[in-house]
């Protein structure tokens, strides 16, 4: 219940902020001054503000949101040898990767999982679950940390946000154009926008959104291969393979939907080419095969 309330409240706040931004741009409507044709300039601004705005606000508050959704507790002062080892391992990997020291946190979950998030490479968050610490050995945990540090070093959070912003903009823009065409040319509405525009815009936005999500998810899967390669460089290829093999046997519960793309492992579906189009992570066997085929 807490997650749902937080999600709704956050989205309402984002809508309010974006509405204020639109008013600052002077964008009050998407029709031209005669109320007949589309004002493509205003429509593009409208689409870009909502397309990029929501994505970047979500990125800006990603660390704050992640801590509250997972209950992750940042290690300020290590309380035991495990916490001290975690912090020191991340410190060494961050130095090798050329990024600032991330915050290191532990969250309460019985499933082995980890994630990295944050708006900047030098101010990120790397978190691991209690289940990961209990079910993996030190070498495997080191590889998982290397994977997450590589996400930060590669700028994956920002890259995915930019891609999401671009596709969101096109989806919003094109759905309004189609809605306007149906309203004018098919339904014969000559002024303003009628119910045909709004219904068509909503339906086409859903359809375009589903199609566009396959593009974003493809990039998400590719970054997992890169992060695995980065983890193998920071911790060792055999350690990275062992960590993935351990995950393949456990099939951990994925993180909350808002963070599913940031975890070490996504939800593993049964083998199906079309289902893979909607996965945030490649099947683990593909990731292991990619590591085994790496040179060196």
- Structure-block tokens of residue 43: 């429509």
- Structure-block tokens of residue 168: 């969101």
**Exposure class string for 146-156: b at 16+ Cβ within 10 A, else e:** bbbbbbbbbeb
Q: Which of 140, 142, 148, 224 is catalytic?
A: 148
**Exposure class string for 235-246: b at 16+ Cβ within 10 A, else e:** bebebbbbbbeb
How much helix, strand and coil, in percent to the nearest 5, is found in the chain? 65, 5, 25
What is the C-alpha to C-alpha distance for residues 272 and 127, in angstroms, rounded to an integer? 31
Instruction: Determine phi and psi for 74, rounding to 5 degrees.
Output: -70, 135
148 is catalytic: yes
- Structure-block tokens of residue 57: 């606000």
Taking Cα atoms as reference points, which of 156, 172, 173, 148 lies closest to residue 72?
A: 148
The Cα angle at residue 90 between residues 89 and 94, in degrees rounded to 5: 120
Q: Which residues are catalytic?
A: 148
């Amino acid at each position: 219940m807490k997650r749902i309330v937080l999600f709704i409240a956050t989205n309402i706040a984002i809508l309010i902020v974006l509405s204020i931004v639109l008013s600052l741009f002077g964008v009050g409507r998407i029709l031209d001054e005669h109320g007949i044709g589309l004002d493509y300039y205003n429509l593009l601004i409208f689409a870009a503000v909502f397309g990029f705005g929501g994505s970047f606000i979500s990125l800006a508050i990603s660390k704050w949101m992640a801590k509250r959704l997972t209950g992750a507790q940042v290690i300020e002062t290590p309380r035991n040898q495990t916490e001290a080892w975690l912090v020191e391992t991340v410190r060494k990997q961050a130095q090798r990767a050329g990024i600032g020291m991330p915050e290191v946190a532990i969250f309460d979950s019985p499933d082995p999982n980890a994630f990295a998030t944050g708006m900047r490479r030098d101010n990120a968050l790397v978190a691991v679950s209690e289940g990961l610490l209990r079910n993996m050995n030190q070498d495997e945990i080191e590889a998982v940390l290397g994977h997450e540090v590589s996400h930060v070093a590669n700028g994956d959070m920002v890259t995915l946000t930019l891609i999401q912003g671009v596709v969101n903009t096109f989806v919003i823009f094109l759905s309004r154009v189609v809605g306007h065409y149906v309203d004018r040319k098919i339904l014969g509405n000559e002024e303003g926008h009628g119910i045909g525009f709004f219904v068509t815009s909503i339906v086409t936005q859903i359809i375009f959104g589903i199609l566009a999500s396959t593009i974003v998810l493809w990039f998400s899967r590719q970054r997992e291969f890169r992060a695995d390669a980065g983890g193998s460089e920071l911790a060792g290829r055999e350690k990275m393979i062992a960590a993935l093999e351990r995950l393949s046997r456990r099939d951990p519960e994925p993180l909350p939907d808002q963070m599913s793309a940031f975890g070490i492992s996504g939800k593993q579906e049964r083998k199906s080419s079309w289902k893979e189009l909607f996965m945030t992570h490649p099947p683990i066997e593909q990731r292991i095969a990619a590591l085994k085929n790496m040179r060196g």
